[in-house]
Structure 1
Amino acid sequence: MLVQAEAQHRGHAIIEQVFAELIDGPLAHLPSGRFNANNAWLACAAIAHNLTRAAATLAGRPHHTARAATIRRHLINVAARITSHARQIIIHLPQHWPWQHNWRRLFTTVHAPPT
């Protein structure tokens, strides 16, 4: 009985965190007064949330439990410089950036070479 109650409580805590992230972020703009606009905005918010959570999971240990704002600040909003040399695109990340290893892990996982 206690195990079931704890599992239900943990599940409730996870969904409450998801709702809080969505309300603090993209759902702060709802309602707009138009059903179709609200429907499209909600679909885009759900897609963005799922992609952010997937990126955080692929990035590694410190980010897979982080809030969406932290993930955006650490992994998405990166002040990088893109250059090209010998027909190759080169990404110059900030030096001494604490999340560089996690960002590179995410990048290499998503852009794995074709088989």
Structure 2
Amino acid sequence: DYTERGEAQVAETSYRGRRLIIRRTRLIGDQAELFPNWRYFGFVTDLLGSAVELDQFHRNRARIELSIRDLKEGAGLEHIPSSKFHANGAWLVHAVIAHNLTRQVSYLGEITPAESMVIARSFRNHFISLVGRLVNRSGEMILRTPARWPWAEAFMRALITLRALEPVPI
């Protein structure tokens, strides 16, 4: 299984005494007209297991590397290294906390499914850096957002879902 709008095939051969596993993918359906050709991804390994299992392992590892890249670019680690060791430690701790909070709010608010990758910069631009006003109207706090804000429905759905969660006992 690859994606709903695509297909993948996995093949295996040997290269200099090691296993060479190739995955080829392409889109199907309406999007296939844009990219009708197969795309190839290969890797050499000495791990045991079927080619399909190793391909899934390799793709999961790529997700981890994307998460590390997102941590660097989207959560503030681009400011490291500083000339001060403790400043680097503080940046790292705060960046990891911000990264984890972003992912958890996205999952708990049902903005993205748990198996999907949350891109911190996109999430911040769409949902956190909100252009709006908090208005007190007859003792009720109302959030006023722009009229044609494209993420208004997703934001309000997530806000309702997050408010309905039980508080964590301390």
- TM-score, structure 1 length as denominator? 0.85
More helix by percentage: 1
Q: State the 1:40 CA deviation.
A: 1.5
Report the Cα distance in structure 1 between the residues aligned to 2:159 and 2:152, rounded to whole angstroms. Answer: 10
- The alpha carbon displacement at 1:72 in A equals 0.9
Q: Give the root-mean-square deviation of aligned CA atoms.
A: 2.2
Answering whether residue 98 of structure 2 is matched by residue 39 of structure 1, we say no
Name which structure has the greater RCO, CA cutoff 8 Å, separation 6+.
1
Counterparts of 1:61 and 1:8, CA distance in 2: 22
Q: Which runs of 4+ in 1 moved over 6 A?
A: none
2:104 partner letter: A
The count of aligned residue pairs is 114
Rounded Cα–Cα distance in structure 2 between residues aligned with 1:88 and 1:113: 21
Q: 1:39 to 1:3 in 2, by over 3 A?
A: same
Amino acid at match of 2:98: A
Find 1:89's aligned residue among 132, 141, 147: 141
**2:94 & 2:166 partners in 1: Cα distance?**
29
Change (3 A) 1:59 1:100: farther
Rounded to whole Å, the distance in 2 between the matches of 1:113 and 1:90 is 20
Higher strand share: 2
Q: Does 1:15 align with 2:64?
A: yes
Specify whether residues 74 and 59 from structure 1 end up closer, same or farther in structure 2 by C-alpha distance, changes over 3 A only.
farther
For 1:31-72, what per-residue CA distance to the aligned partner results, in whole angstroms no more than 9, with x for missing partners? 11222221111111011011111222224249x544211111
Asked if the contact 2:145/2:152 (under 8 Å) is kept, the reply is yes
- Give the direction of change, closer, same or farther, for the CA distance of 1:93–1:86 in structure 2 (3 Å limit): same
Q: Residue 108 of structure 1: CA displacement?
A: 1.2
Query: Is residue 133–residue 145 contact of structure 2 (8 Å, CA) maintained in 1?
Result: yes
Identity of aligned residues (%): 35
Describe the SS at the equivalent of 1:60.
coil
Asked if 1 retains the 8 angstrom alpha-carbon contact of 2:132 and 2:146, the reply is yes
Q: CA–CA distance in 2 between the matches of 1:34 and 1:23? A: 18
> With structure 2 as the length reference, what TM-score do the two structures score?
0.60
What is the rounded CA distance, in whole Å, between the counterparts of 1:114 and 1:16 in structure 2? 33
Structure 2: stretches of 5+ with no match in the other structure: 1-49
SS of the counterpart of 1:22?
A: helix
